[in-house]
Structure 1
Amino acid sequence: METDSLYPDADDVWMPESWPSTGDDSRSGLFDDVVPEYLGFPLSAEFQYVSVDNELHQILDEPVLEYSSFSRSAAFNEHFVDADGNAPDFNLITNDGVHFAVTASMLRSSSHNDFAGLLASSSSTATTSLSSPVLNLVLHGVYGLSPTIYAPSVDDLAAAVDALEPYGLSKKALLARDASLFQAVLMRAPSEPLACYSLAAHAELEDLAILISPYTLSLDLSALTNADADRIGPRYLRRLFFLHLGRVDALKRVLFSPPGLHPTTQDCSAEDQRPLGRAWALEVAGMSWDLSPNMSVISLETRARAVGSNVECIECLDCLEHRIRKLLVDWSLVKTTI
């Protein structure tokens, strides 16, 4: 039947019994919408009687309408359609009261336990113990959608990863290298390397832990707490320490050798070249007090070039330049991952 209405008939849009209908599609947040709804009856009213054609009629004086609201997901609502064109037919309600409209068939195909048994009942609505930010991340993972526009916190990402197995979801599939949750965690690594590495280690996500580990080189491992160590676990904690200590030892080795000597000339004998070697040794000794696994190439080059500040021999400076180039190449080849 043709209609000029901008809105579909009520039968055309799926709505669970627990989902109040609304004509307002405004959105007031990244995760949920606050949807106002007039229930259409007065809470209180003053009654008057008026006479019309000698008959008394009761009228309401300044009725007060009840005003209620509920929250729904901005991404998973009644307008959501999955990749196969399926409209939502199931309503999940989080522990903070946010409604998520999903396709039960998609969740069943992704979960081996009916999404922790929530889909097993005959009802089209179920309540989950997850918070709205966490369920939002889990559902983005299931549907292969990127959650990065919501800038999820590492704590919420960790809770979402921890929730996968209890809800019968494959950690291997939803946290593969090209998966949206994998990329969301990796994007947080530069700003929160320890939290992201802890997440990957705790979940035993080898590929993710390897990619995050270079960002941990700026960390002071002596500041790790017992809680950090417990969550990371002995295997990944050992690999993290070996990465840091191994790079410091490697830096000491590539710094050790002084610049080479050039053939003696009339202006620069072998004895004249010794001060450059001594200056290099002194600079290396001074650097050894504050060597770090993430020492930058620029910092290393700057300190190495300071050795030649008082050298006038062109051949000696060429030897120093060759030594610096070798130092930078050797340092760039040292492994940066666990």
Structure 2
Amino acid sequence: VLFHVHQRRPLKAPFNDFNELLRNPDSCITVPETSNLINIMLHAVYDISCSPFQPSIDTLMDAVRLSPKYDLQVKYISSSLPLFDDIRHRMPLLTYVVASSHEFEDLAIIASVHFLALDISTMSDEMVESINPIYLRRLFDLQTSRVNAFKRLLSVPPESHLATPECDFVAQKSLTRSWAFYADMTAGTIESTFQTLDSDVPCRL
């Protein structure tokens, strides 16, 4: 595959002569990478989205991993550029791992938005070995803080209200006791309990 590139474009970018290849006096340069990877990196240099080529997320991540070799700096995967948009919504856990290993902060942050329901145990051994330890700690802290926030929300029982024929003071106290008694229940139990309350508690206030 042949790529026709303006030589001054990579040189104007903060590249190390494209891994010193541009120091070659020949106008035709051979690179060992596949055309898919080079295509993605050149699109990043030109600030053009590569989405028309529909690269897989694995190919995009391979291009990100390869970027340090050609000194493709963090600015090319910042939140305002096309390559970022090509990646951001696809396989957030893999994206986070790769972004962490190269300290692409913006990409890691946007990937973490999708971690609300993430089961960390689904991380493969390869991911665990590749992830930056600092980012792994952030991931655990994020999960812990969200679980604690959810617990705080559920720890507050429903507010009481004036007695009605359908829900008097005794019924409200019973609901409050049940709420406090089941404070440590699992997510599945919470769902089934709410379904029971919906059918057994006549109060709609």
* Normalised TM-score (structure 2): 0.85
- Gap change, CA 1:127 and 1:277, over 3 Å in 2: same
* Pairing 1:117–2:4 present: no
Measure, in 2, the Cα distance between the counterparts of 1:273 and 1:105: 74
- Gap change, CA 1:278 and 1:309, over 3 Å in 2: farther
Aligned partner (choices 80, 95, 112) of residue 178 of structure 1: 80
Alignment of 1:216-295 (within 5 A): 216-264=115-163, 270-281=169-180, 285=184, 288-290=185-187
Aligned equivalent of 2:112: 213
Alignment check: 8 A CA contact 1:107 1:114 kept: yes
1:232 Cα deviation from its structure 2 partner: 1.5
* Pairing 1:107–2:10 present: yes
Aligned partner (choices 51, 61, 64) of residue 161 of structure 1: 64
Aligned partner (choices 31, 34, 44) of residue 131 of structure 1: 34
Alignment check: 8 A CA contact 1:198 1:232 kept: yes
Alignment of 1:44-83 (within 5 A): none
1:284 Cα deviation from its structure 2 partner: 5.1
Q: Which amino acid is the alignment partner of residue 22 of structure 2?
A: L
- Gap change, CA 1:131 and 1:275, over 3 Å in 2: same
Query: Which residues of structure 2 form unaligned runs of 5+?
Result: none
Query: Paired residues, what number?
Result: 204
Q: Which amino acid is the alignment partner of residue 317 of structure 1?
A: R
Q: Which amino acid is the alignment partner of residue 141 of structure 2?
A: F
Alignment check: 8 A CA contact 2:43 2:49 kept: yes
- Gap change, CA 1:105 and 1:269, over 3 Å in 2: closer
Aligned with 1:99: secondary structure? coil
Aligned with 1:207: secondary structure? helix
**Structure 1 vs Structure 2 CA RMSD:** 2.7
- Gap change, CA 1:303 and 1:137, over 3 Å in 2: farther
- Gap change, CA 1:150 and 1:282, over 3 Å in 2: farther
Deviation sequence 1:167-209 (CA, Å, 0-9, x none): 233x133112111211111132xxx121111121112111211
- Gap change, CA 1:268 and 1:175, over 3 Å in 2: closer
Measure, in 2, the Cα distance between the counterparts of 1:155 and 1:308: 45
Name which of structure 1's ranges 275-284 and 147-156 shifts more when overlaid on structure 2: 275-284
Aligned with 1:165: secondary structure? helix
Aligned equivalent of 1:79: none
Aligned equivalent of 2:200: 310
Measure, in 2, the Cα distance between the counterparts of 1:180 and 1:144: 6
Alignment check: 8 A CA contact 2:89 2:111 kept: no
Deviation sequence 1:80-103 (CA, Å, 0-9, x none): xxxxxxxxxxxxxxxxxx221211
Aligned with 1:134: secondary structure? helix
Alignment check: 8 A CA contact 2:65 2:98 kept: no
Measure, in 2, the Cα distance between the counterparts of 1:213 and 1:267: 45
Aligned with 1:244: secondary structure? helix
Aligned equivalent of 1:326: none
Q: Which has the higher helix share?
A: 2
Q: Which amino acid is the alignment partner of residue 133 of structure 2?
A: P
Measure, in 1, the Cα distance between the counterparts of 2:167 and 2:17: 82
Alignment check: 8 A CA contact 2:116 2:146 kept: no
Higher RCO (C-alpha 8 Å, min separation 6): 2
Aligned equivalent of 2:93: 194
Q: Which has the larger radius of gyration?
A: 1
Deviation sequence 1:120-153 (CA, Å, 0-9, x none): 1221111112111100000000111110112222
